[in-house]
Structure 1
Amino acid sequence: MRRITPYQQEGEVACGGQPLTRNNAAYCSAGDFIAYDVNWAVGAFRQIGDAFIFYLLGHEYAHAVQVRLGIQYRFTIQQELQADCMGGAYIGDSVKAGSLTLDRGDIDELRQGLLAVADDPGQPWFAPDAHGTAEQRTDAFFEGYEGSLAPCDIT
């Protein structure tokens, strides 16, 4: 991955000719970079906490890994839940290795963050931009957090 790019306005950064929207973080395979709306991230940091930012970056890095491994599912939700699992594995393995120390309350921040980025109730699972319900996203993340990459179905 080449870089992490913050942006402040919709359309300030593009991926494959498409402007990135506000209130988002995304991996752009066309340019091999992660971009995030800095105002949204700062707001999430203030409202949820620092652990949520670890999750956001881990999730987007996971998309970069998926591209490199050639992992592609039929439905977006499958890609997203796998990225949640892989992001959880990264954070969990980092904690186990001692390279990341979570503060008291960080696990709750991760849960709150996953709730914040869950699909709205009623969102069809097969929708092109579906990421998963709060329960699905939380389950996927913590399966990776607790079990490393084994439950993430990387084959």
Structure 2
Amino acid sequence: MDWRKGGSSNNVEIDSGGGGGGRRFGGGRGMGLGTIVVLALIGWIFFKNPMALLDQGGIQPGAGGQTGVPAQVDPEQKDFVSAVLHSTEQSWGEIFREHGATYVEPKLHLFSGGVSTACGSASTAVGPFYCPGDQKVYLDVAFFQQLQDELHSSGDFARAYVIAHEVGHHVQKLTGVFDKVDQARRQGAPMDGADGLSVRQELQADCYAGVWANHSQQELNWLQPGDIESALNAASHIGDDTLQQQAQGRVRPDTFTHGTSAQRVKWFKTGFASGDMARCNTFAGEP
């Protein structure tokens, strides 16, 4: 992925570690990577729905804890994140204009260790997430390095897919999907499970990531051989079924939150092949 072809976003924030900045939980880093458990943890942190995290304790409203340290961001890492975010701004800005709407650009907040958000305080273990309360994408600066070192997943486009998926949640917020799902959750609608709203919401964000990939490629022609495969490989390795089988030796569809490997690949490919967000209605029919 020749990401340097893209422009730079003005919406990347770097946590200063004070005031409204990051917070730690228990003083630890929160990810015990290095064993087979890593597969389950990566499944937990990848693209987690913040509403589910609120339910399950991953984001704690009003939580205390130690003040986070300033995020030390490698300049090239910041440039990469800025380039990908700028591309999402360009793509979704155009798509929204075509539909007679205005795209409100999200902020992307880089932090280290922990962070305080409008959704509450979150530790590094939460991983990349979107907070609808402040319309920001949150990303720990160590996350990409951990993907490379622990899971040997260092492809630029796989990393871009992470960002694009979270921006997909922002698109859901702007189009009202996010609030409708949250309302249904509060009214007792089933979230988890193979047919749950959480799975459908996550798969739509995967599809939106594919829509972005289509538009960005048309605009910049920046994808290189193997890039799409790297994103599909990432999607296939973080399906609920694959992660549960590897971590537990069995699959429990009633606990699914993100969809199977096949579903995640299918919906990313749907978005990429069509470039049409209307094709991303994961809430109709079988997910």
Tell me the TM-score normalized by structure 2: 0.48
Gaps of 5+ in 1: none
Q: Where do 1:43-62 residues align within 5 Å? A: 43-44=146-147, 47-48=152-153, 49-62=155-168
Offset, 1:32: 1.1
Gaps of 5+ in 2: 1-104, 185-196, 245-250
Give the distance between the partners of 2:138 and 2:221, measured in 1 at CA. 23
Give the distance between the partners of 1:125 and 1:99, measured in 2 at CA. 41
Q: Where do 1:1-155 residues align within 5 Å? A: 1-9=105-113, 11-22=114-125, 24-44=127-147, 47-48=152-153, 49-71=155-177, 72-73=180-181, 75-95=197-217, 97-119=218-240, 120-121=243-244, 122-124=251-253, 127=256, 130-148=257-275, 149-153=277-281
Residues 59-105 of structure 1 deviation map (CA, whole Å, 9 limit, x = unaligned): 1111011011111345111110001001101111211x232411111
Question: Number of aligned pairs?
Answer: 151
Q: What SS does structure 2 have at the residue aligned with 1:68?
A: helix
Offset, 1:110: 0.6
Offset, 1:6: 1.7
Give the direction of change, closer, same or farther, for the CA distance of 1:144–1:23 in structure 2 (3 Å limit): same
Aligned-pair identity in percent equals: 26
Larger Rg: 2
Give the distance between the partners of 1:22 and 1:100, measured in 2 at CA. 35
Q: Tell me if structure 2 keeps the 8 A contact 1:77–1:125.
A: no
Offset, 1:15: 4.3
RMSD: 2.3
Q: What SS does structure 1 have at the residue aligned with 2:220?
A: coil
Tell me the TM-score normalized by structure 1: 0.84
